[in-house]
């Protein structure tokens, strides 16, 4: 089988840069939630790597839950139609919730999730996203913690997929157009 590296144009964010930034965000979150019980809600599947590394940057007690939604399928564009594939296990009522995402692209997934979570009566809801594409956003998303703003290229790696592949790439890289055109 071919190497993942053959399908990439440039590495945008290295594993080292990601870990350093998540450590900074971990400190910030620790200060901001001092004295509060925090629930991290990861969005499967893209957020698995961010969750694993970010939560280990937190020195205090924290709990974790997952929601599985999908809006992309085998496409490089968001359909805007968000489907719940797996709902949360816990009740969010009165909880301080931090949604953990790999990327805010159009923003449609998070806009939908934020509205959905607000109706569950959480005490507070904030967003942590490793990556954000300011030029691609179709809706405004108030994300308190953002790792890196990146250009609107289609990126893969560190949890991000194209057609379910490339998630195991350790860095975040731009997918070569020959792969999807
Ligand atoms: C991707 C990504 C974000 C979302 C961002 O998930 O992980 O959750 O799209 O795009 P948006 O801002 O345009 O909505 P995807 O739907 O591909 O599912 P996955 O996490 O399982 O890959
Ligand atoms: Mn996702
Ligand atoms: Mg995806």
105 assigned to active site: yes
Domains and CATH numbers, the chain: 15-152 (3.40.50.2020)
* 3-state SS, residue 55: helix
How far is ligand 1, taken at its centre, from the CA of residue 108, in Å?
9
> What was the pLDDT predicted at 77?
65
In whole angstroms, give the CA distance from residue 177 to residue 7. 8
CA angle centred on 129, ends 179 and 137, rounded to 5°: 65
> Mean pLDDT per 10-residue run, the chain (181 residues)?
92 98 98 97 97 98 95 64 92 97 96 94 97 97 98 97 97 96 88
> What was the pLDDT predicted at 82?
87
Nearest ligand to residue 102 Cα: 1
Quick check: pTM over 0.90?
Answer: yes
* 7, 53, 102, 105: the active-site residue: 105
How far is ligand 2, taken at its centre, from the CA of residue 93, in Å?
24
In sequence order, the β-bridge partners of residue 101 are: 129
> What was the pLDDT predicted at 70?
78
In whole angstroms, give the CA distance from residue 170 to residue 13. 10
> What was the pLDDT predicted at 73?
58
Structure tokens at 165: 């592949």
Please list every protein residue whose CB sits less than 6 Å from any atom of ligand 1.
43-46, 70-72, 78, 101-109, 161
Residue closest by Cα to atom 20 of ligand 1: 46
């Amino acid at each position: 089988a071919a190497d993942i590296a053959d399908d990439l144009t440039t590495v945008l964010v290295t594993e080292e840069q990601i870990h350093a930034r998540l450590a900074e965000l971990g400190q910030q979150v620790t200060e901001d939630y001092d004295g509060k019980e925090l629930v991290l809600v990861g969005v499967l599947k893209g957020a698995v790597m961010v969750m694993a590394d970010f939560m280990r940057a937190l020195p205090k007690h924290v709990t974790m839950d997952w929601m599985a939604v999908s809006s992309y399928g085998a496409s490089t564009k968001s359909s805007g139609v968000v489907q719940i594939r797996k709902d949360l296990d816990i009740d969010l009522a009165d909880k301080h919730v931090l949604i953990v995402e790999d990327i805010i692209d159009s923003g449609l997934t998070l806009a939908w999730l934020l509205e959905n979570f607000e109706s569950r009566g959480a005490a507070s809801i904030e967003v942590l996203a490793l990556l954000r594409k300011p030029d691609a956003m179709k809706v405004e998303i108030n994300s308190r913690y953002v790792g890196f703003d990146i250009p609107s290229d289609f990126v893969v790696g560190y949890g991000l997929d194209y057609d379910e592949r490339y998630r195991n790439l350790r860095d975040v890289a731009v997918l070569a157009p020959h792969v999807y055109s």
